[in-house]
Amino acid sequence: MEPVAVVILLALIEYVAFGMLVGRARGKYGVHAPAVAGHEVFERYFRVHQNTLEMLVVFVPAIWLFGTYVDPTWAALLGLVYVVGRILYLRGYVADPAKREVGFGLSVLPVIALLLGALWGAGRQLL
C-alpha cells in the first residue's frame, strides 16, 4: 500500500498548499478573518480550497479501500490523476469561474472511479 500512502500524502500536501494560497489571498485582497467574502478573487481561492476539502474527504477513504479491495497500483494511478486535476481546477477557477470545468472533471472522475471500484471490490467479498 506504499504507493497509495504516498499519493494520499501528496493530495494532503496539495490541500495544505491551497490553504496557504487562501491565506496569501487574505492579505493581498484585504479580507480579514473571520470574513470569508469581500473580494471576488479571494472568494475564488476560498471556494477552491473548500471544494477541495469536499473532494478530499471522499478521496482518501475511497483510494484506501480501492487499494485494499481492488488494486493498489491502479488506486495510486487514479489518485495521481486526481492530484493533477485539482491543480488545473485551481488555475482555471482563479482565472475565471467558468473555466473550472476541465480540472473539475479530471479530479471528480477518478474519485467516482475509486468509489465505485472500491464498492464493487468490497461488495464482491461480502456476497
Residues that bind its own copies (CB under 8 A): 2-3, 5-6, 8-10, 12-13, 15-16, 19, 32-34, 36, 40, 43-44, 46-47, 49, 53-54, 56-58, 60-62, 65, 68-69, 97, 100, 111-112, 115, 118-119, 122-123, 125-126
Nearer to its own copies, 84 or 97 (CB): 97
DSSP 97: G
Q: How far is the CB of 67 from its own copies (least distance, A)?
A: 11
Q: How far is the CB of 69 from its own copies (least distance, A)?
A: 7
User: What is the DSSP track for 76-91?
Assistant: HHHHHHHHHHHHHHHH
Instruction: Tell me if 39 sits within 8 A of 29, measured CB to CB.
Output: yes
Nearer to its own copies, 68 or 106 (CB): 68
Closest to 44 measured CA to CA, from 23, 27, 22, 24: 22
Residues ≥6 apart with Cβ < 8 Å to 38: 29, 30, 31
Q: How far is the CB of 27 from its own copies (least distance, A)?
A: 14
